[in-house]
Amino acid sequence: MKSKPFQPTTDSIIGRFEKQRWVGPKADRAEEIETVEFDATAYIVNMPAAAIRKVEDCSCSTDDIGSAHVDHDGPFSVYIEQAICTFFGVESVSEITASHLSQAKAWLKSLPERRYIARVSINTHRDIPVIARHPSQVKTLALKQAKKLAGKTANHIDFLSIHCCN
């Protein structure tokens, strides 16, 4: 019997990044200041299966995932474990196999390309056209293009937003 092609149970893996700051008389307690949601679909799908199986909310295993998507200079917590499980249709990240990942990569590559406009800040706001298969790929592609455009003149480049054109 032929197995059916991978179909995620959700379109995206949305993580939650809780920005915090140190408070208290000894600045030894973290206080939440803002929560930011981010789309980590392409990032997760391109991780090794062994690394995904070790993902645990609010641990070092999620710090790199969150930091790749949200800029924050301070303490933070990242929650993404359940979103990964839901996307792959498993109860636990420990159930995710290399086969799951190869099928998810094939699914991602099978998506039609779409046009996006990414707004970035390179000394001033600038709109950059980007073609991607999934919204989670837009930030990385836009920042690469912005770095090429800015060359050595930009001290800092920020990703601001995306807008789908089709």
pLDDT over 70 (residue 154): no
pLDDT over 60 (residue 1): no
Residue 136's domain comprises 114-164
pLDDT confidence bin for 82, thresholds 50/70/90: very high
Give the chain's domain count.
Answer: 2
Cα maximum dimension of the chain: 65
* Judgement on whether residues 21 and 73 belong to the same structural domain of the protein: yes
**Total residue length of the chain:** 166
Q: What's the pLDDT tens digit per position in 20-73?
A: 999 888 888 888 999 999 999 999 999 999 999 999 999 999 999 999 999 899
128 vs 105, residue with greater confidence: 105
Give the residue ranges of DSSP H helices in 32-126.
41-45, 49-52, 60-67, 81-88, 98-110
Please report, as a single letter, which amino acid is at residue 79: Y
Q: Which whole number is the average pLDDT over 79-105?
A: 95
Q: CA-based Rg of the chain, rounded to a whole angstrom? A: 18
Quick check: 143 and 157 in contact, CB under 8 A?
yes
* Judgement on whether residues 106 and 119 belong to the same structural domain of the protein: no
* Judgement on whether residues 100 and 130 belong to the same structural domain of the protein: no
Predicted local confidence at residue 156, as pLDDT: 67
* Judgement on whether residues 102 and 147 belong to the same structural domain of the protein: no
* Judgement on whether residues 105 and 145 belong to the same structural domain of the protein: no
